[in-house]
Amino acid sequence: MASVLVVATSKGGTGKTTIAASLAAYWRSDGKRVAMLDTDPNQAATRWFRKGSSYDNVEAQATSDEHAIIGAVQDLSERADIVIVDTAGFGNQSMIYAVGIADLVLIPVMADEASLFEASKMKKVIQSASALTRREIAFRTVLNRVKRATVVRHTERQLEALGLNPVDARIGDRAVFQEASYHGSSPQELAPKATASMEIRRLARELEPALLKT
Ligand SMILES: Nc1ncnc2c1ncn2[C@@H]1O[C@H](COP(=O)(O)OP(=O)(O)OP(=O)(O)O)[C@@H](O)[C@H]1O
Ligand SMILES: [Mg+2]
């Protein structure tokens, strides 16, 4: 059975879809069988995965019916090593079901107060889902779109203080992520030696121990 990575935060626009797509492309290029479930009614990930040919080998499904989420994840799990679930950027029942079936929840955070506030709310959602399912659901935060080092350091201190488990990897504010969205591509394909690709690889490797259990 696959491991399930849910990318979620109730803060919109923090990079959930961008990071989900970039990680999918990285793990695919690393020989993993990757599947993607898009639970956002806006279906940005679905459009991304259908463009171009980068995601030809990634089975992608979409559903905005919250009651279909667990079944869809279980179905995809039979044919994948990692199932990545993209979620909508607001608190909703789909997100709670997705978190409930996650092996790991990744919370993208930007260096601003609203992102931190919503990440703290996500921690509570994950803790509630853990209590409900009687198992510990792991979660990590990743700083995305970073620019100024001083603001980044401040945000990282806050993440630590709030017990939000930041990874060491940080994702910079880089045009290649936006370019990739137009082409249905990824930093790995468009600029394999660029910093963005290295950042995604570093993030993927930090998440792997919680996902690839063999
Ligand atoms: N590291 C980055 N560098 C540059 N641009 C980025 C980066 N991450 C995300 N973006 C841009 O920020 C915007 C929001 O990103 P994205 O759509 O991935 O966020 P989201 O959390 O999925 O949003 P939503 O909550 O609407 O689903 C997009 O225009 C995307 O191209
Ligand atoms: Mg999105």
Section 191-197 average pLDDT: 96
Asked if residue 138 is part of any domain, the answer here is yes
pLDDT bin (cut points 50, 70, 90) of residue 214 is low
Distance (angstroms) between ligand 2 centre and the Cα of 49 equals 12
Q: Which atom of ligand 1 is closest in space to residue 171's alpha carbon? A: 1
Give me the CATH number covering residue 184: 3.40.50.300
SS (H, E, C) the chain: CCEEEEECCCCCCCCHHHHHHHHHHHHHHCCCCEEEEECCCCCHHHHHHHCCCCCCCCEEEECCCHHHHHHHHHHHHCCCCEEEEECCCCCCHHHHHHHHCCCEEEEEECCCHHHHHHHHHHHHHHHHHHHHHCCCCEEEEEEEEECCHHHHHHHHHHHHHCCCCEEEEEEECCHHHHHHHHHCCCHHHHCCCCHHHHHHHHHHHHHHHHHCCC
Output the pLDDT for position 33: 96
Q: Which of 68, 70, 71, 77 is nearest to 34 (CA)?
A: 77
Res. 26 pLDDT band, cuts 50 70 90? very high
* Local confidence band at 90 (pLDDT 50, 70, 90 cut-offs): confident
Average pLDDT, the chain: 95
Domain count, the chain: 1
Ligand nearest to the CA of 13: 1
146 CA to centre of own chain: 17
Does residue 212 belong to any structural domain of this protein? no
Q: How far is the CA of 131 from the centre of ligand 1 (A)?
A: 31
For residue 87, tell me if it sits in a domain.
Answer: yes
Average pLDDT, integer, range 188-205: 96
Nearest Cα residue to 101 out of 141, 142, 71, 61: 71
Whole-number pLDDT of residue 150? 82
Query: Is 213 within the bounds of a domain?
Result: no
The residue contributing the CA closest to ligand 1 atom 16 is 15
Instruction: Label residue 127 by pLDDT band (50, 70, 90).
Output: very high
Ligand 1 pocket residue status of 89, Cβ below 6 Å:
yes
- Ligand 1 pocket mutation pick from 6, 17, 86 by most atoms within 8 angstroms of CB: 17
Give the model's confidence band at 210: pLDDT under 50 very low, under 70 low, under 90 confident, else very high. very high
The answer, yes or no, to whether any atom of ligand 1 lies below 6 A from the CB of 185, is: no
Contact 187 CB / ligand 1 (< 6 Å)? no
* Ligand 1 site, residue 178, Cβ cutoff 6 A: yes
Q: Is residue 8 over pLDDT 80?
A: yes
pLDDT score at 1: 85
The parent domain of residue 125 ranges over: 3-207
The rounded Å distance from CA 214 to ligand 2 centre is 30
Smallest-distance ligand from the CA of 14 = 1
> Which phi and psi (to 5°) does residue 156 adopt?
-65, -40
Let me know if residue 214 belongs to a domain: no
Given this model, what pLDDT does residue 53 score? 82
Q: Is residue 202 pLDDT above 70, yes or no?
A: yes
> pLDDT above 70 covers what percent of the chain?
100
In tens, the pLDDT along 142-191 reads 999 999 888 889 999 999 999 999 999 999 999 999 999 999 999 999 99
Q: Is 13 exposed, middle or buried (0-12, 13-18, 19+ CB in 10 A)?
A: middle
| Residues around the ion ligand 2 (C-beta < 5 A) | 16-17, 44
Any ligand 1 atom below 6 A from CB of 13: yes
163 in any annotated domain: yes
**Is 178 within the bounds of a domain?**
yes
Residue 83 in tokens: 């199932």
> How confident is the model over 108-130, as a mean pLDDT?
96
Identify which of 36, 12, 37, 8 has the alpha carbon closest to the alpha carbon of residue 24: 36
Has residue 52 got a pLDDT over 80? no
